[in-house]
Structure 1
Amino acid sequence: MSQKLSPGTMLLLATAPLLWAGNAVTGRLIHGLIPPITLNFIRWALAFVVLAPFAWKTLRADSPLWPHWRRYSMLGLLGVGCYNALQYMALQTSSALNVTLVGSGTPVCMLIIGALFFGVPPRRAQVAGAVLSICGVLMVLSRGSIGQLLSLRLVIGDIYMVLAVISWSFYSWLLVRTDEPASIRGDWAAFLIAQMVFGLGWSGAFAGIEWSTGQHEIAWSWPLAAALAFIVAGPAILAYRCWGLGVQRAGPVIAGFFINLTPLFAALLSLALLGEAPHLYHIFAFALIVAGIVVSSRRA
C-alpha cells in the first residue's frame, strides 16, 4: 500500500475530520430530540436513498457484491452499524470536544490492531507519534489534573467512544484489503452502498433493541430535519468518500493520525455553535496530538 502523502491526499484526509467534527457538534445539538441509535439508523437509511440512483446496479441479483457478502457485512457492522451509533451514544453524556479528543486515540489503536491482527509492524516514528497522541488523550480524560488521572473513573460516554475507536480501527484496516471486484472497488458509490446494504441491517437491529427499551421518542422539527440533511450529505456520504480514498492512498496508520484534526475543528465549531469554550488542558492536549501527527508522518 502507498504511504506517500500528496497535497490531494492530505486534502481528502483533512476533509473527513472537518465533516466528522460537524457530525459530533450536530449530534450534541440534537441529542435531546432523537435517540442515538435511531439517529444512526435514520442517517444511513437516508444516505442509502440518496446513493441508490447512482449505484443501483450493485444491488442486482447478479452483482459481484453477493459472493463477497461476508466482507461487506463486516465493513457494514463496523463502519455503519457500530461507529457512529457509539459516538452518538457518547454525546448523550459528553461534550463534542471531549468525544473527539478521546477519539484521537485512534492512531494508537491502529498501530496495535495492525501489528496484532494484520501483520504490519509500526515504524519508530509512528510509535513516537502515537505516544504523543495518547498523552494528549490522557490529558483530556484527566481534565488536566494528575490527581484525577490517578483516580480516573471513566464516564459512560468515554467508554462508548473507546469502543467506537476500536470499531473504526478495524474498519480502516479492512478497507485496504482489496479482495473485492474492481467494478465495486473502482466506483465509490457502489463501494459505499455495498457496505450500507448490510450496515442498515445491523443498525436497524440495534435501533430495534433501543426501541424495545423504551427509547423511541423523536421530536420532529425543522432543526432536526436540517441536522439530518447535513449529517446525510456531509458526514455520511462525502466524509466516507474522502476517507476511503485517503486510506487507500496513504494507508490506515498514516490516515489515522489525520483523525486527530477532528478536535481542532470540533473546538472551533463548539465555540461557535454550542458556546462550549475549550479549557487550558484542551489546548495542551491538542498541541500533543498535533505533535503526534507531525512526528508520525515525517517519513510519509
Structure 2
Amino acid sequence: MSPSRIIYFKLIGSVVFWGGTWIAGKILAGDMSPYSAAFLRFLSATFFMFILVCRSTGKPPKCSKVEILPLMFLAVSGVFLYNIMFFKGLQTISAGRASLIIAAMPTVIAIGSAIIFKEKFTLSKVIGFLLALAGVCTVIGNGNPFTLLTQGVSFGDLCIIGCVLSWTAYSLAGKPVMKKTSPLNAVFWSCLFGTGMLAIPAFSNNLIAEVKVMSLLDLGSILYLSFLGTTLAFSWYCDAIGKIGPSKTGIFINLVPITAILLGVIFLGESVGMPLIIGGILTISGVWLTNRS
C-alpha cells in the first residue's frame, strides 16, 4: 500500500473510531455514573498517551512550571467538564442526536477565534454559522426549531451543548499552549491533570462499587474510548495533518457524526427520522462552509 493510501486509511480509521466513541459512551452512560465512566476512560487514556509520547519523542513527557496553569485549564475544559457532560447527556439522548449537536463545534470555534484572535470572519462563515445553528435547532426541536421557544431544551441536549462550549474553550486556550509544547505532550498532561480532577467525584460516587459489578462490555467500552477513540485516533489524525495538511485533514471531521449515526443504528438500534437527516445536512453544510478555506 502506498504512503498516501496509508494516510487516508488512517484518517478514515480515526473517523470511524471517533464515531464509535458515541456508541461506547452511550453503553457506559447506561451502566455507571458519568464521573466513574469519565475517570476510568482517562485513567486508561493517560497510560496509553504516556507510551505514545515516549515512543514518539524517545523520552518521558515533561511539563515546566510556566506550563502548569495553561495545561490545568485544558484539563478542566477538555477533560473534566467535557466528559462529565458527555456522559450525562448520553444518559438521556441518542448517540446520533448528540453527535449532530457536537458537529456544530468547528463553527463555534471559528466564531471564538474571530472574537479572541481577531481572525477574519467572512460572509461565508456567517452563512455557515447560521446554517449550522439552524441544523442544531432542527435536531433539538425534532424538526421544528421554533418549539425551542415554547418547550425549551432537554437536560440531555443542554449537556451536549455544554460539551460544545467546553471544547471550544479547550481549543481556543490550546492555541497559544501548542506554540510552547507539542500537541501530544499537551494532550498527555491535560489527560493526567483531568484524571486527577475526575478522581474526587468518581470515588465520591461509588467508583469502587461500580467497578466490582462492571461487565465485560463496559470494560471493552472503556478500553475502546481510551485506546482507539483517544490515543490511536489522535495520533493517526496528527500524522495526517503533518503529511497532507490541516485543511484536507479537517474535511474528514465532517464524517464523524454520519459515522456515529450509522453505528448507532447498527449497534444500538437507534432510529433515524427526517428531522435528524435534515438537521444533519444543515449542520454539516454549515460547518463545511465555515471552514472551507
The equivalent residue for 2:227 is: 233
Matching of residue 172 in structure 1 with residue 171 in structure 2: yes
Say what the alpha-carbon RMSD is for the aligned residues: 3.2
The equivalent residue for 1:52 is: 50
Shift of 1:157: 0.7
Matching of residue 282 in structure 1 with residue 276 in structure 2: yes
Shift of 1:262: 2.7
Shift of 1:83: 1.3
Q: Is the 8 A contact 2:29 2:37 kept in 1?
A: no
Inter-CA distance 239–210: structure 2 relative to 1 (3 Å threshold): farther
The equivalent residue for 1:29 is: 27
Inter-CA distance 144–74: structure 2 relative to 1 (3 Å threshold): same
Bigger helix fraction: 2
What letter matches 1:217 in structure 2?
Answer: E
| SS in structure 1 at match of 2:153 | coil
Q: How many residues align?
A: 282
Inter-CA distance 208–99: structure 2 relative to 1 (3 Å threshold): same
Q: Is the 8 A contact 2:110 2:290 kept in 1?
A: no
The equivalent residue for 2:255 is: 261
Bigger drift between 85-94 and 100-109 goes to 100-109
The equivalent residue for 2:187 is: 192
TM-score normalised by the chain length of structure 1 = 0.80
What is the CA deviation profile of residues 107-156 of structure 1, one whole-angstrom value per residue up to 9, with x for unaligned ones? 34213322333332422222211211111111111101356344132111
Q: Is the 8 A contact 1:16 1:242 kept in 2?
A: yes
Identity of aligned residues (%): 23
| SS in structure 1 at match of 2:66 | helix
What is the CA deviation profile of residues 144-201 of structure 1, one whole-angstrom value per residue up to 9, with x for unaligned ones? 13563441321111111111100111111223224654xx417x3x332122221222
What is the CA deviation profile of residues 215-239 of structure 1, one whole-angstrom value per residue up to 9, with x for unaligned ones? 9634312111211121111222123
The equivalent residue for 2:70 is: 71
Shift of 1:17: 4.6
Q: Is the 8 A contact 1:126 1:296 kept in 2?
A: yes
Matching of residue 217 in structure 1 with residue 217 in structure 2: no
Q: Is the 8 A contact 1:35 1:216 kept in 2?
A: no
Give the unaligned 5+ runs of structure 2.
none
Give the unaligned 5+ runs of structure 1.
1-5
Q: Quote the Cα distance in structure 1 between the aligned partners of 2:36 and 2:261.
A: 26
Q: Quote the Cα distance in structure 2 between the aligned partners of 1:122 and 1:216.
A: 50
Q: Is the 8 A contact 1:172 1:247 kept in 2?
A: no
Q: Is the 8 A contact 1:133 1:291 kept in 2?
A: yes
